[in-house]
Structure 1
Amino acid sequence: MLFTEDFLHYVWKFRLFDRIDLRTTEGEELEVYSSGLHNTHAGPDFQNARIRIGQATWAGNAELHLSSSDWQRHGHTTDNAYDNVILHVVYRDDEPLFRADGRKVPTLELKDRISPDLYNRYHNLVFGTQTVIPCEASIASVDGLTMQNWLTRILVERLEKRSEAVISALEINRGDWEETFYQFLAANFGFKTNALPFELMARSLPQSILAKNKNNAMQIEALIFGQAGFLTGNLEDEYPRKLKQEYEYLAKKYTLRPIENHLWKFLRMRPQNFPTIRLAQFAALVVKSNHLFSKVLEIKEVKNLRQLFTDIGVNPYWETHYRFDKESAPASKGLGAASIDTILLNTVVLFLFSYGRHMKLQHFVSRALKLLENLPAEQNNITADFANLGVKIDNAFESQALLELKNTYCDYKKCLQCGVGIKVLRPN
């Protein structure tokens, strides 16, 4: 048979082996009351197992290996953490195992106790020739309750991992949630292509400086475009020349140094997504909404959260421009619905979740999950693949969870650690 220890763990954890006339390799009668708790950290594989050998009942740890000789090979003989192992579970018993005091460690061999049907399902899942995900032939038949429970769990896993970056930034910002939210929001205004320069611009321009000039839209725009490095050289139009004049004064006042302009990318982008347009939208949002994170915490309805980013007053100059000094056909430059949903997904949801977890306020975590349920599902290659396999994707809650499923479990064939994989292996 071809399999890894993970499969042996799976078989032991769910006791999917033939338990009729169960005996140790020494011929002693064995009964398994509890396989124990799966330990994914250092130490024995299963903790707090309960078994009966002969007339004696034991409680302790169980260690699993493909072969008995792996115990010695893995260095357990000299590791005190394995002194209280009450049962060694192996696929193949190839050598006797003794404790330091000379006593034999009770061993259960599973070589002839695993059903061929279970093994074949496992082998086809993990070693098959699937092109999208290991369970692509079966995932559509997994019941809704199993699917929903597992997607909920891995969605929380995804948000927990992403919130680590928020908490790290929060520590750098000395616990200032508003400043941290402002920096992440800026990065997400750049979307993937210009996230880095947007973040660098925000870090170089603290929100406290913007707050001091909140009543002057021209100064806010000058600070943002100036720190982004767009107000250098000879500018022809009156609007950018005024911005440059304002910025030169403000830069001296606040001792500001702009980021490098070459960091911004325009190539192969739709003009609507040019960084100059995103910066204009970001400036308009700053002008409209002071203490934005506080407002996010106060607003409970999704439609009202959307309203924060809707109808922001981008300077009229941009209605006929995509770049400074280059006139274009008139077009609205406000944030579109798709852009707003992306910001809600990548910034607002993340911060509601992070704030709720960090402050131990569960209702903010619940609001983050509810917001995801009310946002449309993302459209990308991964969600398209799942849809083609018959998986129903109704909202961003499900699409985000499926992204985590694909990237963390499917790509690494962690089927035995996946609720969907386990269901496929045990359809009944």
Structure 2
Amino acid sequence: MLNLKTESGESLSVVSLGEHNLNSGPDFFNSQLLIGNQLWAGNVEIHVKSSDWFLHNHENDKAYDNVILHVVWEHDTEVFRKDNTVIPILQLKSYISESVFNKYKQLFNSKDRWINCENDFASIDGFLLNNWLERLYFERLEEKSNLIEQLLETSKNDWEAVLFKMLSKTFGLKVNGDAFLSLAQSLDFSVVRKTQSTQKTLEALLFGQTGLLNDDIQNSYFLNLKKDYQFLKQKFNLENAQVLQLQFFRLRPNNFPTIRLSQLSNLYHKHQNLFSKLIESKSLNEFYELFKVETSEFWENHYTFQKESKKSKKVLSKSFIDLLLINTIIPVKFSYAIHQGKSINDDILELIAKIKSEKNSIIDSFNNLKPISKSALQSQSLIQLKNHYCDKNKCLQCVVGNTLLGK
């Protein structure tokens, strides 16, 4: 116990931290503190020096009228409420050693570094780091569940429809992900169910909704798709679809939206109850088998409707299936288990640990500091660490930062 005391000598204990405020106003709302024998409820403000209160003009701001504690590193002047009573002060330098403070300054005064702790990251114990990365992975999963929850609400709790929307987004990759999601959202999933028995009909539906059939192209495949889509458009009242424009620029041909849409059509033609099959599947090989799909015959020697190319089977690669597992399948399984009141965390950890690590600039940079990312479990966690902790200077909320400060 620190046996905290205010600068006036009264005992201080925290009953409730309250809510951390990331916007304008006091740093913590609705805190509860026991100061002396009095229980206080109100806000808490934090500064380096007491005099910063006046530097920031808080004395003229009504938002600070309900501050019950001023937490500072150094107390250099009294701060008063409007009724001239002194706001209690907690001076942190009385409780934190100078060596810890110097480490803190050293950690944060690193403007030219990729991350604050890059000089010391390699020294962190592997067991400690791996436990932290596991926690970060589930934190990332929970964030991905937010989109799933939104889609579940708009899809009237139809998990098959949610899966279709999530898969569509991932099939579109980073460049066309939002466009593919807008495509999936432009349709009631019942239309997909009614057309998936014939791959050509499902292709006509998806290509038509994206606007890819609006051109005047004279080949039989294109014309047949266009004719089928006109029929579907009238039958299912598909007027005025709000679908974002697809992009081909800077994409490898195998990632062209035409190829991915054909593969997505083949997947849903091949599996009538895909959601149930995904929930039942557990091993990596089961998922690889389930997603062993290819394009329709026309796309074996085309990447666009107009230009013919060398013939080749365009099947989903294992690396692409890994991407589907990371960004869609595992998050959907995780969210569904929560809705069922079940915990499948161990199964998820076992599965994600068998998927190869992603390769990108963030992972490469972490591996240069300490070769740690050996699976998608670590790569996903490191992305979470960089984006949500390192980039936001949340070292005090990070196990790595706390360990370095405590050494």
TM-score tier after normalising by the smaller chain length? 0.7 to 0.9
Using a 3 Å threshold, how does the CA distance of structure 1 residues 37 and 302 change in structure 2: closer, same or farther? farther
User: Are residues 1:185 and 2:167 paired?
Assistant: yes
Using a 3 Å threshold, how does the CA distance of structure 1 residues 356 and 145 change in structure 2: closer, same or farther? same
With 239-248 and 251-260 compared, the bigger mean Cα shift is at: 251-260
Using a 3 Å threshold, how does the CA distance of structure 1 residues 392 and 103 change in structure 2: closer, same or farther? same
> Where in structure 2 are the equivalents of 1:234-249 lying within 5 Å?
234-249=216-231
Following superposition, the deviation at residue 261 of structure 1 comes to 8.9
User: Are residues 1:403 and 2:346 paired?
Assistant: no
User: Are residues 1:329 and 2:321 paired?
Assistant: no
Gap runs ≥5 in structure 2: none
Using a 3 Å threshold, how does the CA distance of structure 1 residues 89 and 290 change in structure 2: closer, same or farther? same
Aligned twin of 2:282:
300
Aligned twin of 2:328:
347
The Cα RMSD (Å) is 3.2
Structure 1: how far apart are the matches of 2:18 and 2:31? 7
1:125 to 107, 124, 130: 107
Following superposition, the deviation at residue 218 of structure 1 comes to 2.1
Structure 2: how far apart are the matches of 1:391 and 1:75? 51
Equivalenced residues, count? 395
1:415 to 395, 398, 401: 395
8 Å contact kept, 1:188–1:346: yes
Following superposition, the deviation at residue 293 of structure 1 comes to 1.6
Structure 2: how far apart are the matches of 1:238 and 1:316? 13
8 Å contact kept, 1:349–1:369: no
1:209 to 191, 200, 211: 191
8 Å contact kept, 1:201–1:258: no
With 293-302 and 398-407 compared, the bigger mean Cα shift is at: 293-302
Aligned twin of 2:352:
372
- Higher-Rg structure is 1
Give CA deviations for 1:361-417 in whole Å, capped at 9, x if unaligned. Answer: 222x54444332221111000000000011411111111111111111111211112
Q: What's the secondary structure of 2:73's corresponding residue? A: strand
Using a 3 Å threshold, how does the CA distance of structure 1 residues 286 and 99 change in structure 2: closer, same or farther? same
8 Å contact kept, 2:196–2:269: yes
Structure 2: how far apart are the matches of 1:219 and 1:65? 65
Q: What's the secondary structure of 1:137's corresponding residue? A: coil
Aligned twin of 1:318:
299
Aligned twin of 1:385:
365
Give CA deviations for 1:327-358 in whole Å, capped at 9, x if unaligned. Answer: 11111211111111111111112211222334
**% of aligned pairs identical?**
35
Structure 1: how far apart are the matches of 2:349 and 2:109? 35
If the length of structure 1 is used for normalisation, what is the TM-score?
0.81
> Where in structure 2 are the equivalents of 1:45-56 lying within 5 Å?
none
8 Å contact kept, 1:155–1:404: yes
With 276-285 and 256-265 compared, the bigger mean Cα shift is at: 256-265
Following superposition, the deviation at residue 122 of structure 1 comes to 0.9
8 Å contact kept, 2:326–2:352: yes
Following superposition, the deviation at residue 281 of structure 1 comes to 0.5
Q: Which one-letter code corresponds to 1:426 in the other structure?
A: G
8 Å contact kept, 1:227–1:258: no
8 Å contact kept, 1:350–1:368: no
User: Are residues 1:176 and 2:158 paired?
Assistant: yes
Give CA deviations for 1:285-318 in whole Å, capped at 9, x if unaligned. Answer: 01011221222112122221222111x2421221
User: Are residues 1:284 and 2:266 paired?
Assistant: yes
Using a 3 Å threshold, how does the CA distance of structure 1 residues 91 and 250 change in structure 2: closer, same or farther? closer
Following superposition, the deviation at residue 131 of structure 1 comes to 2.3
Q: What's the secondary structure of 2:135's corresponding residue? A: helix
If the length of structure 2 is used for normalisation, what is the TM-score?
0.84
Q: What's the secondary structure of 1:327's corresponding residue? A: coil
